[in-house]
Amino acid sequence: MTDAVLTASRLLVAVSARSLTAVGEDVTLPQFRMLIVLASRGALRAGELADLLAVHPSTATRMADRLVAADLVDRLGNPENRREVIVQLTATGQQLVGDVTRRRRSEIAAIVERMDPQLRGSLVAALRAFARAGGEPGVDSSRDAGALGWS
């Protein structure tokens, strides 16, 4: 059973990576995760961003540096609280996320199209049950789905 889940999982990761390279743009997968989080949650403090990505704050700082250099995100000072830094997508960043997401969705849709319709329905129910059975405080499914860009 785990075998089946893992295979499906690998397939999705492959689709995800392919959609990214297909669009061109020299963005790594971790960087794209950051863009996705910003697209789904809007502007965020650096620390929140690090938490959502489950990385060290310094990692988020440096990843943001590179994305600023690529003109995909902006860093804003917050006049209210000057120790906080707000990160948000630029217009270019928004467009990139949109392009990749569109492509990815169409690839997934094509796969689902090829599935036996009967099985399509049971897939969702079974996976939900699996995730629920494995549910734990640290795993917030809606958050994670968003972070990966599949919400």
One of 8, 22, 29, 91 touching its own copies (CB under 8 A)? 8
One of 80, 82, 114, 137 touching its own copies (CB under 8 A)? 114
What DSSP string describes 34-58? HHHHHHHH-SEEHHHHHHHHTS-HH
| Contact yes or no for 118/100 (Cβ under 8 A) | no
Q: Which does 24 bind (CB under 5 to 8 A by kind): its own copies, DNA, none?
A: none
CA distances from 107 to 19, 87, 139 (A): 8, 30, 27
In the window 57-76, what residues touch DNA (CB under 7 A)? 57-64, 66, 75
One of 30, 98, 121, 135 touching DNA (CB under 7 A)? 30
Q: Give the list of residues 6+ apart from residue 64 with CB closer than 8 angstroms, or none.
A: 34, 46, 49, 73, 75, 87
The answer to whether residue 11 forms part of the interface with its own copies (CB under 8 A) is: yes
- Mapped onto helix, strand or coil, the DSSP state of residue 35 is helix
| Closer to DNA by Cβ: residue 6 or 115 | 6
| Closer to its own copies by Cβ: residue 2 or 24 | 2
d(CA 29, CA 132): 27
Per-residue interface string for the shown chain with DNA, residues 36-55, x marking contact by CB under 7 A: ---------xxxx-x--xxx
Least gap, CB of 111 to DNA (angstroms): 25
User: With CB under 8 A as the contact rule, which of the stretches 42-50, 77-85, 93-101, 137-145 interacts with its own copies?
Assistant: 137-145
Distance of CA 109 to the CA centre of its chain: 18
